[in-house]
Structure 1
């Protein structure tokens, strides 16, 4: 029985060796995670300064737990998707530069405080002028909301950079189909 008479065999075609795309690291490369950690740490000074001025005691523990959780979530996102990693790190650099005037950080922190106060997680007599936030849950929620807003801003800026074609390739990359010669 010849191969041509067997309908269940796959047709033979010449093997085409495709060169590996070495310009992009694969998911899970340590370089992406290192880049995220550096950008994350560079973005901490202003939010930590504002947060420390408004909290004391257990609220600072909540703030620390929230900061660690945000760092781990960002690292997980960077490990799962190359595109997200590039966007988060490139946008994170842009957000870090805004610390000079700290408008996004101040707005995100204010929203975080409003959410904590609305949920009743801040002390009932919490006054922004004093550092009376002492509940760990208030520090945690304020930090998670503030950090999530800033990470969302960084991601949006990074995706905009990608859309405009800056760094890391274009969003609309189309691979040519292989041709048989």
Structure 2
């Protein structure tokens, strides 16, 4: 107890600890879970289409997309939550992968137009694999943000446990 003020509470050696886990941990786990949920279709399509050094580019692109998702979720709680909600919806669309196919075709076309593919559909170099996986992933991330915004607007806040909490 401090002798100068008798009304102060005694100091504890333990320190004050938060009773709940930090939100950052849950967002990072959510981002990692959404990334892993969206990975199966990407791996199956890459197994079928990539050959030679293209696998190096595909793996680099997937690693960069995973880091980008974790970074976005760690910077802003609102954007991270929106991306996680939309990413779960995009992962469910893998059952009928129309969105994934359109994004992949756009990525293939852009990669061919940039001159990274010798012939359309032949992904043999690592820059082509990198470009295709990165463009496809970025398009799907944008779709997940749009779907997340749509789902958050259409559902009441109490369904998400946000009735008493403000997200910044």
Query: TM-score of the superposition, structure 1-length normalised?
Result: 0.73
Residue 81 (str. 1) matches residue 71 (str. 2): no
Which shows bigger deviation, 51-60 or 110-119? 51-60
Distance 1:32 1:110 in 2: 31
8 Å contact from structure 2 (residues 108, 120) kept in 1: no
What's the secondary structure of 2:141's corresponding residue? helix
Distance 2:142 2:161 in 1: 19
The aligned counterpart of 2:88 is: 93
The aligned counterpart of 1:136 is: 126
8 Å contact from structure 2 (residues 112, 120) kept in 1: no
Query: In structure 1, which of residues 141, 144, 164 is the aligned counterpart of residue 154 of structure 2?
Result: 164
Which blocks of at least 5 consecutive residues in structure 2 are unaligned? 1-18
Query: In structure 2, which of residues 98, 102, 115 is the aligned counterpart of residue 103 of structure 1?
Result: 98
What's the secondary structure of 1:97's corresponding residue? helix
Distance 1:87 1:99 in 2: 19
Give CA deviations for 1:119-172 in whole Å, capped at 9, x if unaligned. Answer: 0111x2x243xxx321110000101100000111111111122222453648xx
Distance 1:39 1:50 in 2: 18
The aligned counterpart of 2:138 is: 148
Segments of 4+ moved more than 3 angstroms = none
Aligned residues, how many?
A: 144
Distance 1:168 1:56 in 2: 46
Query: TM-score of the superposition, structure 2-length normalised?
Result: 0.78
- Rg (Cα) greater in structure: 1
Distance 2:162 2:147 in 1: 15
What's the secondary structure of 1:121's corresponding residue? coil
8 Å contact from structure 1 (residues 162, 169) kept in 2: no
